[in-house]
Structure 1
């Protein structure tokens, strides 16, 4: 009888832990999709067509809240000297600001569905940049997988009815800066033993991102803001965007400790397909059969690539240790940390 009660208690605890984990995953997917959908609405369907300004408001809001959480002792910070900050953090922040700016700018020209298809190129860019910088080791089988991804994205691009070269180049630039940022994180932060959670990442990186964006903002958007009056700030949507972006980072903070890199990758795939569907339903994006075929091919390539990477990173004899390392890597990079 006692053993039965103990077994029932264990099963109940396992069920509750599983329910909490899947709840966090659902929250992460929902918030990630919300940030993207709101940003698309602001830049594509209101008169506020200023992606740099939008990005700067996100950085200012997230930096302020992160500083408040650290000052209140909710999250502990780390000590970092000026030399480490300027040599290691600022270059990463500069690339991150480019990722956010160019990614948001793409919403002016492209549909969410097509942008998600282009984002399938991210593993290709990370592998290429990582190979050049020494963070990735070249492999013919990995290259074959990524070639399939590239062909799929090319087919999806060919099938895009409302293709816009400026938007495509913006998104491609966002992918390039993001892949460079992820590689630099390994070189400049992880190799030096600097570990940042999502809150401390925002605390250190968001102000630097804001500063980096000031220069292009002063030359590109500030003159338009000052010399034209046919725009207005969509305050409700702007505030909703800032809050959801910060909440997204907190959901990452909650989820990382309860899931593996494989779980996050699977959740990311679910989110991408969900966004394509929502883009069609909410914004009436046109997705052709050729695009779906191309994205399906790139999806297969990415899935196989992720499987090979996970298999390589988690040998059976050392799996518990490697899973912890994967979690730490996700914690420091934050797959969707305020990312468009």
Structure 2
């Protein structure tokens, strides 16, 4: 199941690049594509919860919580997808994935700024290893586009902020939501946040250009792949563990890099690329092991909480793990 999740993720990354490529589908509008993904997700979640009633929306959401927590999460999710997908217009899928390895550094630094993380020599050493690896991988890139790098790093910062807001939402607001409930609330908000830039930035270009083409069936498959990725992450966590999900996340990263190198002509991996990315991944693995290591205090209370509210740990990890999407 973990490897299947990695394969789905690789397919999603590749399909987005393929759609945005002017040589293929000829739909170079990342905001519009991301907007379609969020609309599709909103419709599917509404059908699952309200029409077919397969999943029940969990209670606890109020207007105040929605405004103070869900809207910032949705806005950062929209920004993440917008900037991340825009980067594919300028850089390869493999190089974009290498730059994403800097994510733990951004999450840690922002978490420390918000008082959610504690500075330590070990964490600083791990962050340094990841940063050095990403820098080495960037130096090894043959055709580097700084516009694409800026887009990708902007998406990384937005994603880090989204994860911080989710952690604040879960820990301080005390609301526990499963993945479908989270997507039910966040997807429409993200779609609205994307609609505004699309209306002013891309719609005029789409109206002027008559060359773009997006077959409905291809659109459906692309949106479905993105939605299935969210579901596969949820299934990995619910059927196995958070550790398995994090380990398969590393497998996913390598799968995306290697498959994109085999599929796309604009991806040429160099020896320095691979060495730098391997260093960064080693740092990410060390970071995951450090975060998943049980704390010496509070284990008994955590066990009691798990028995009193089974599924809460999974809900927390599931919400945070939605960063794997798109």
The two structures have a TM-score, normalised by structure 2, of 0.91
Out of 245, 248, 267, the position equivalent to 1:267 is 248
Structure 2 distance, partners of 1:43, 1:265, is 29
| Deviates further, 328-337 or 210-219 | 328-337
The offset of 1:259, in angstroms, is 2.2
Structure 1 distance, partners of 2:282, 2:170, is 32
Map 1:145-294 to 2 at 5 A.
Answer: 145-284=126-265, 285-294=267-276
1:320–1:84 CA distance, 2 compared to 1 (3 A): closer
| Deviates further, 310-319 or 195-204 | 310-319
Root mean square deviation, CA, Å: 2.0
Structure 2 distance, partners of 1:254, 1:150, is 31
Q: Secondary structure at the match of 2:101?
A: helix
Where structure 2 has 5 or more consecutive residues not aligned to the other structure, the ranges are none
Kindly indicate whether residue 47 of structure 2 is the aligned counterpart of residue 31 of structure 1.
no
Which residue number in structure 2 is paired with residue 90 of structure 1? Answer: 71
Structure 2 distance, partners of 1:27, 1:199, is 20
1:289–1:41 CA distance, 2 compared to 1 (3 A): same
The offset of 1:332, in angstroms, is 1.8
The offset of 1:320, in angstroms, is 7.8
Structure 2 distance, partners of 1:300, 1:319, is 32
| Deviates further, 106-115 or 78-87 | 78-87
Out of 51, 54, 57, the position equivalent to 1:74 is 54
The offset of 1:317, in angstroms, is 5.7
Where structure 1 has 5 or more consecutive residues not aligned to the other structure, the ranges are 1-23
Structure 1 distance, partners of 2:319, 2:296, is 19
Which residue number in structure 2 is paired with residue 11 of structure 1? Answer: none
Mapped contact 1:156–1:294 kept (Cα < 8 A): yes
Kindly indicate whether residue 274 of structure 2 is the aligned counterpart of residue 295 of structure 1.
no
Structure 1 distance, partners of 2:219, 2:112, is 39
Kindly indicate whether residue 122 of structure 2 is the aligned counterpart of residue 141 of structure 1.
yes
Mapped contact 1:199–1:249 kept (Cα < 8 A): no
Mapped contact 1:259–1:327 kept (Cα < 8 A): no
Which residue number in structure 2 is paired with residue 58 of structure 1? Answer: 37
Structure 1 distance, partners of 2:271, 2:172, is 45
How many residue pairs align between the two structures?
A: 316
Structure 2 distance, partners of 1:116, 1:77, is 34
The offset of 1:115, in angstroms, is 1.0
The offset of 1:260, in angstroms, is 2.1
Structure 2 distance, partners of 1:87, 1:302, is 31
1:252–1:25 CA distance, 2 compared to 1 (3 A): same
Which residue number in structure 2 is paired with residue 46 of structure 1? Answer: 25
